């Protein structure tokens, strides 16, 4: 007798293959590879993982100008003999990426499309990371593989900032067909006032999703609103990403909505680093694509799939403990970025939403920080490398946020970093 789980997964796979043809992607192929890879025992996978890292370092040395310059043939040979010599490879961070951007690109790769992924600003001035089509498809396959491991396929609901982009008719039709086929929908929001939260909850009730995916800070605001209004809606899975989810916040979401909370940890620079995909409440390293070390408690990662713009030993700025059991490497006590909320002209915004507005609507802002004013305007500190755009940037911000800020343009070394690891907060007192 065919189980319901098998039936739903088969239908979901057929729908996904149809959507793939529509959007000209090749993701399911890599999902199948991940299924095979993670069916292998960890002892064997660990050796594959090590060899993949060695081959990736060799490839980067031979094909990427930056690594050809900072590595030596002797060091690469030593790493082939003993992985401990990876300690001799210098770290890479956002500042180094910006200074050596062109030399980090692989000019030898022929790709159908280049995918750009802007980073956040929690460890300094944001950068854009490029992925070729193969690396992008592999990255997307990890999300699909992980979700398939922890739930029965169904409707997914994804939260996103509303930029009111005017898509061409054929693009709108294509996007709507793709969402219909995949059983996925988006909730676009401009702020998180009571009226916005009310509309969000109405859409959730209408759509009846099986999985909701958004920032924990957004989900907690929905939760607090539901508590105050004695509202409730049912969904089976909540997938967190984009910022730190504390154990306390995880418990709050689980207890109130009676759902399973799935933790996902990653960064735009390297993709998904770890995921809670084995139903044992541990966040496992995606060892198929990520090599990870913790040095002085900082999480240092290498994406083993992005050959178009390799980043070896990237400093995430996040803290955590990397452990190992019979299933693989897993994380404990991750301490990373957490978004904050701010009231601007009686509208509630979260800092990840303000960052999206600056990236997509205002543009040309490299870094920003808000100093709260008690009985006066908040001060918005901005660094831009487009000096001639300052007047236009200020004009757009004042229009969009209705003169909520006193705007000050500063140098990037004037921003405030706090704590032992000099972590960046978008809002300071």
Mean pLDDT to the nearest integer, 79-89: 96
**Residue 149's pLDDT is what?**
86
**Residue 291's pLDDT is what?**
98
Instruction: List the end-to-end C-alpha distance of the chain, in Å, as a whole number.
Output: 62
Which of these, 287, 351, 286, lies nearest to 44 by C-alpha position? 287
φ/ψ of 270, rounded to 5, equals -135, -5
**How would you write the chain as a 3-class SS string?**
CCCHHHHHHHHHHHHHHHHHHHHCCCCHHHHHHHHHHCCCCHHHHHHHHHHHHHHHHHHHHHHCHHHHHHCCHHHHHHHHHCHHHHHHCCCECHHHHHHCCHHHCCCCCCCCCCEEEECCCCCCCCCEEEECHHHHHHHHHHHHHHHHHHCCCCCEEEEEECCCCCCCHHHHHHHHHHHHHHCEEEEEECCCCHHHHHHHHHHHHHHCCCEEEECHHHHHHHHHHHHHHCCCCCCCEEEECCCCCCHHHHHHHHHHHCCEEEEEEEECCCEEEEECCCCCCCEEECCCCEEEEEECCEEEEEECCCCCCCCCCEEEEEEEEEEEECCEEEEEEEECCCCCEEEECCEEEEHHHHHHHHHHHHCCCCEEEEECCCCCCEEEEEECCCHHHHHHHHHHHHHHCCCCEEEEECCHHHCCEECCCCEECCEEC
Portion of the chain with pLDDT greater than 90, in percent: 52
- Span 205-256, pLDDT tens digits: 998 999 999 999 999 999 999 999 999 998 999 999 888 888 899 999 999 9
Contact 322, 382 (CB under 8 A): no
CB atoms within 10 A of CB 72: 12
Mean pLDDT to the nearest integer, 83-97: 94
Domains, the chain, ordered by start: 1-337 (3.40.50.12780), 363-428 (no CATH)
Mean pLDDT to the nearest integer, 155-181: 65
User: Hey, which residues does 302 pair with through a beta bridge?
Assistant: 291
Q: Is the pTM of this model over 0.85?
A: no
Portion of the chain with pLDDT greater than 70, in percent: 90
Residue 358, pLDDT > 90, answer no
To the nearest whole number, what is the mean pLDDT of the chain? 87
Contact 179, 157 (CB under 8 A): no
Q: How far apart are CA 353 and CA 347, in angstroms?
A: 12
Mean pLDDT to the nearest integer, 397-423: 83
**Residue 1's pLDDT is what?**
43
Mean pLDDT to the nearest integer, 382-398: 92
Residue 62, pLDDT > 80, answer yes
Lowest mean pLDDT among 58-67, 116-125, 215-224, 232-241: 116-125
């Amino acid at each position: 007798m065919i189980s319901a789980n098998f039936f739903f997964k088969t239908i979901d796979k057929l729908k996904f293959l149809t959507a793939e043809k529509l959007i000209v992607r090749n993701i399911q192929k890599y999902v199948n590879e991940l299924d095979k890879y993670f069916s292998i025992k960890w002892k064997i996978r660990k050796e594959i993982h090590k060899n993949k890292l060695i081959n990736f370092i060799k490839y980067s040395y031979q094909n990427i100008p930056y690594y050809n310059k900072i590595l030596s043939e002797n060091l690469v040979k030593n790493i082939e003999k003993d992985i401990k010599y990876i300690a001799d490879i210098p770290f890479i961070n956002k500042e180094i990426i910006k200074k050596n951007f062109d030399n980090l690109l692989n000019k030898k790769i022929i790709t159908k499309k280049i995918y750009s992924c802007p980073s956040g600003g929690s460890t300094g001035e944001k950068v854009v990371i490029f992925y070729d089509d193969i690396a992008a498809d592999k990255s997307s396959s990890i999300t699909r593989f992980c979700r398939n491991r922890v739930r029965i396929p169904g409707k997914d609901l994804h939260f996103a900032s509303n930029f009111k982009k005017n898509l061409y008719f054929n693009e709108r039709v294509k996007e709507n067909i793709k969402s219909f086929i995949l059983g996925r929908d988006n909730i676009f929001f401009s702020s998180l006032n009571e009226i916005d939260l009310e509309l969000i909850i109405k859409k959730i009730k209408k759509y009846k999703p099986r999985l909701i995916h958004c920032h924990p800070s957004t989900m907690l605001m929905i939760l607090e609103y539901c508590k105050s209004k004695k509202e409730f809606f049912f969904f089976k899975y909540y997938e967190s990403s984009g910022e730190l989810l504390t154990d306390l916040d995880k418990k709050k979401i689980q207890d109130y909505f009676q759902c399973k909370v799935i933790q996902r940890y990653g960064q735009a620079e390297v993709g998904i680093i770890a995921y809670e995909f084995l139903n044992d409440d541990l966040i496992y390293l995606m060892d198929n694509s990520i090599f990870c070390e913790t040095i002085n408690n900082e999480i240092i990662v290498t994406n083993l799939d992005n050959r178009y713009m390799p980043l070896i030993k990237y400093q995430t700025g996040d803290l955590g403990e990397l452990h190992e059991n019979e299933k693989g490497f897993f994380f404990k006590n991750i301490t990373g970025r957490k978004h904050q909320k701010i009231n601007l002209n009686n509208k509630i915004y979260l800092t990840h939403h303000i960052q999206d507005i600056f990236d997509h609507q205002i543009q040309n802002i490299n870094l920003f920080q808000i100093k709260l004013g008690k009985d006066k305007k908040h001060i918005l500190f901005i660094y831009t490398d487009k000096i001639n755009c300052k007047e236009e940037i200020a004009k757009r911000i004042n229009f969009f946020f209705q003169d909520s800020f006193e705007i000050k343009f500063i140098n990037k070394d004037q921003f405030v970093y706090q704590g032992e690891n000099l972590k960046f907060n978008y809002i300071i007192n």
